[in-house]
Amino acid sequence: MKKTILSFFIICGLFSSLSADDISDLKVQIDTLTKKVNKLEKKQKRTNKSLAKVKKHDAYDNIKWNIDFRTAYDNLNYKLKDAGSVSNPSLLSSRLWLGMGAAPTSKLSFKGQIAVYNTWGGNNLPATDPFQNVNWRASSKADDITLKLRRAYFVYSITGGKYPLSISAGRRAASEGFLANHREGLKKPGSPLAHITNMEVDGVMFRVGNAFGLDGSYIKFVLGRSYTNINQSSYSGTPYTTVNSTDANVNFFVIPMSIYNDGQYNLMAQYTAIFDFMGTKQSLISTQNPNGATTGAGLKHMGAVSLQVDGLNEDVDFLDESTFFISAAFTTSNPKSGYKMLGSDKTHTGYSFWTGFIFPDTFTEDGKIGLEYNYGTKYWAPMTWAEDTMSSSKIATRGNAYEAYWNLPFEDGHFSTQLRYTYMDYNYKSNIEEFWAAPDLQVGDATSTQDVRFYLRYQY
């Protein structure tokens, strides 16, 4: 009771100590604050209305798009064995990649790319050439204005923890892989090691993170099919089957792995086995098939180890912005009895070495110059058909290849140019042409090629 009376007198005292002016000031402040709150409430209502409009507009808009559009000029020159030379002084092409991405949950994502790669005014490429639009390079080689599926796959994270496991299936990001991205002006490489794999392929992948307990390590297991021997169309009585075919499906098993990656040193390796690969069989030679080419000829192994160093010395700007890489690889062809691979019924192994140095051009803010060297032996036969070199695959050179390029980005990298010179000196037949054939140079085969390229590129 005494406390209540005391509190009452204290409150009265406080009010009585406020003058009439103080009370008036307080009233003004309260009025001002009330007006501000009313204003904010109206603004909040308008913001909610706008957000509702945005939500309606974007509802079911489930793909994020990006664009990579490039226009290129190539000057091509080929010296031929005992047959002079051929050239194309001005090959003009445009390439459009429409990238797609979506991540409906934190564990599930989708990535894809559809592509058009056409030569300006081009419609003369041999329609009868069965390899012009093959599945494993169709969107990576300049052709016509047809839209093609370049990549489409989902990734689902099954488990997290110390060894996170994820699964993915679809048309893989298997071109412009590790180390090839520099010459393509791409910051991020595709999945496999480009020294042995640069193709468009379909497969299923399992990925185990932290596989070796080292920084950045992971291992992937990829099963896929690069050739299907279906010869019955959907209009036949037995759609999508094979009748009387001597061809076999060509399946592959690839193990790409990141052994160590601490942001500066990136060591990667890959093993590939391709089953029932292409070769030749004497009994299949015909007018339609003068080489007797067929799948099911034997087993092909490939392996590579590649090291990239980003930033050679963080105390020296020039070296800090430079990248060095080195890579070694092998391919082995193992024909079955009765078949030949690379023109021989014996097992043959080829080797390759690849090195590069990319450094600031020193006279622009972000321009970089790259210098690369490749060497390949007689039976070197990687799967690099989707490589973006007009004059055949530089990486597959059986001989010496030299390359210099200058990548110059503008507008935060959304616009860029490249000037590139590629020289390939062949000791043996280019692996890309007649990839089932013996490597020895024949009359009319290219003995060296030159490709000068300039491009303008938009990326956003």
Partner 1 sequence: MNIYKKVALAGIIGFGLLSTAASADADKGMRIYQKKLKSACGFSGAVFAAKHTQDEWAEAKENGELGNVMIEACPAGKDFFESAKFKKKFSTHLYDFVHDFASDSGNIPSC
Binding site for partner 1 (CB under 8 A): 64, 101-103, 109, 111, 153, 155, 166, 168, 173, 187-188, 191, 205, 207, 215-216, 261-264, 310-311, 314, 316-318, 320-321, 359-360, 362, 365-366
31-58 CB burial, b ≥16 within 10 A, e <16? eeeeeeeeeeeeeeeeeeeeeeeeeeee
- Which DSSP letter does residue 259 get? E
Q: Whole-number minimum distance, CB 309 to partner 1, in Å?
A: 11
Q: Whole-number minimum distance, CB 109 to partner 1, in Å?
A: 5
Is 217 within 8 Å of 202 (Cβ atoms)?
no
Q: Which two three-digit tokens encode residue 204?
A: 């299923």
For partner 1, the closer of residues 111 and 378 by Cβ is 111
For partner 1, the closer of residues 254 and 396 by Cβ is 254
Q: Whole-number minimum distance, CB 370 to partner 1, in Å?
A: 14
Q: Whole-number minimum distance, CB 168 to partner 1, in Å?
A: 6
Q: Whole-number minimum distance, CB 50 to partner 1, in Å?
A: 17
75, containing H or E segment: strand 64-80
For partner 1, the closer of residues 320 and 433 by Cβ is 320
Q: Whole-number minimum distance, CB 230 to partner 1, in Å?
A: 28
Distance CA 98, CA 176 (A): 16
Distance CA 411, CA 254 (A): 38
Is 388 within 8 Å of 93 (Cβ atoms)?
no
For partner 1, the closer of residues 20 and 59 by Cβ is 59
Phi-psi region of 345 (alpha: psi -120 to 50; beta: other; left: phi over 0): alpha
Distance CA 408, CA 246 (A): 50
399 phi and psi angles, rounded to 5 deg: 155, -140
For partner 1, the closer of residues 83 and 319 by Cβ is 319
Q: Residue 94 corresponds to which amino acid? A: S
For partner 1, the closer of residues 101 and 239 by Cβ is 101
Q: Whole-number minimum distance, CB 361 to partner 1, in Å?
A: 9
Coil, strand, or helix at residue 412?
helix
Strand partners, 456: 71, 417
CB atoms within 10 A of CB 119: 21
For partner 1, the closer of residues 205 and 278 by Cβ is 205
